[in-house]
């Protein structure tokens, strides 16, 4: 027999031995096996739910009449995370939207009595809260309404406000100042929304 034929027979024998060996393993696996099942598994998504002033949906609104330059008017609202996803790194941020600007009641001292009111251009707002040590934390310094409309307040993810909100109700202070206003804003009114966004 030639060397080539011997090599082929030897390779064929090795191949058959391997096939029998792996076949026996598969057969033994089929003969000795076990299976367990975890039944009726349920997955549920956490909820994110924000309450303002203890209400959901909120009925809270600010009324800030008779703003005078040199005086700061403060409004407060409690913010609560009542969702089931608490403690999972939620992020709160706030957007301001001016919905109406009006001349209101004009006196003879007002210098601009035509078109929209000027209060929406000069009114400023500041946002802060007290931490667990009763220390004031400023979230947003005094900023004009036009600037606030182009940004979000506390947009930074996982800020100290976000951390505190996961363990307690946070009373946010909204301070309003007309210090940047002149006679052109006298008697004017501005209507605005504060949109609170809460994300996980």
Q: For 112-124, write each residue's pLDDT tens digit.
A: 667 777 888 998 9
Tokens of 73: 């008017």
For residue range 115-169, list pLDDT tens digits in order: 777 888 998 999 999 999 999 999 999 999 999 999 988 887 778 888 888 888 8
Q: Across-strand partners of 50?
A: 81
59 and 113 housed in the same domain: yes
25 and 94 housed in the same domain: no
Residue 140 confidence (pLDDT):
94
pTM for the model stands at 0.72
Closest C-alpha among 170, 105, 106 to residue 136 = 170
Cis peptide before 57 (omega within 30 of 0): yes
23 within some domain: yes
Total domains in the chain come to 2
16 and 105 housed in the same domain: no
Q: The tokens 């301070």 sit on which residue?
A: 175
22 and 64 housed in the same domain: no
Structural domain boundaries enclosing 69: 50-199
41 within some domain: no
Q: Quick one: which H or E segment has residue 177?
A: strand 170-177
Let me know how long the chain is.
200
Helix (H, G, I), strand (E, B) or coil at 42: coil
Looking at 1-110, which runs of residues are DSSP E strands?
50-52, 72-81, 91-102
Query: Residue 183: is its pLDDT beyond 90?
Result: no
Exposed/middle/buried for residue 192 (C-beta within 10 Å: 0-12, 13-18, 19+): middle
Q: What are phi and psi of 192, to 5 degrees?
A: -145, 155
For residue range 96-113, list pLDDT tens digits in order: 888 888 887 777 666 666
CA distance 77 to 172: 5
Question: 102 vs 22, which has greater pLDDT?
Answer: 102
99 within some domain: yes
Residue 10 confidence (pLDDT):
63
Question: Buried (b) or exposed (e) across 110-149, using 16+ Cβ within 10 A?
Answer: bebbeeebbbbbbbbbbbbbeeeeeeeeebbeeeebeebe
Mean pLDDT, the chain, rounded, equals 78
For residue range 76-97, list pLDDT tens digits in order: 888 888 776 555 667 888 888 8
């Amino acid at each position: 027999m030639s060397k080539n034929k011997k090599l082929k027979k030897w390779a064929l024998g090795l191949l058959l031995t391997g096939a029998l060996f792996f076949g026996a393993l598969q057969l033994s696996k089929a003969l000795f096996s076990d299976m367990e099942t975890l039944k009726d598994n349920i997955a549920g998504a956490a909820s994110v739910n924000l309450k303002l002033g203890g209400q959901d949906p909120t009925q809270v609104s600010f009324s800030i009449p008779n703003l005078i330059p040199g005086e700061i008017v403060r409004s407060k609202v409690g913010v609560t995370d009542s969702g089931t996803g608490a403690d999972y790194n939620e992020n709160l941020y706030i957007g301001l939207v001016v919905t109406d600007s009006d001349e209101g009641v004009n006196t003879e001292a007002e210098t601009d009595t035509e078109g929209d009111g000027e209060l929406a251009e000069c009114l400023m707002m500041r946002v802060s809260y007290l931490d667990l040590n009763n220390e004031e934390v400023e979230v947003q310094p005094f900023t004009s309404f036009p600037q606030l409309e182009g940004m979000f307040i506390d947009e930074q993810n996982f800020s100290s406000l976000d951390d505190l909100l996961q363990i307690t109700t946070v009373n946010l202070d909204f301070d309003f100042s007309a210090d940047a206003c002149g006679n052109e804003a006298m008697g004017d009114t501005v209507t605005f929304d504060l949109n609170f966004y809460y994300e996980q």
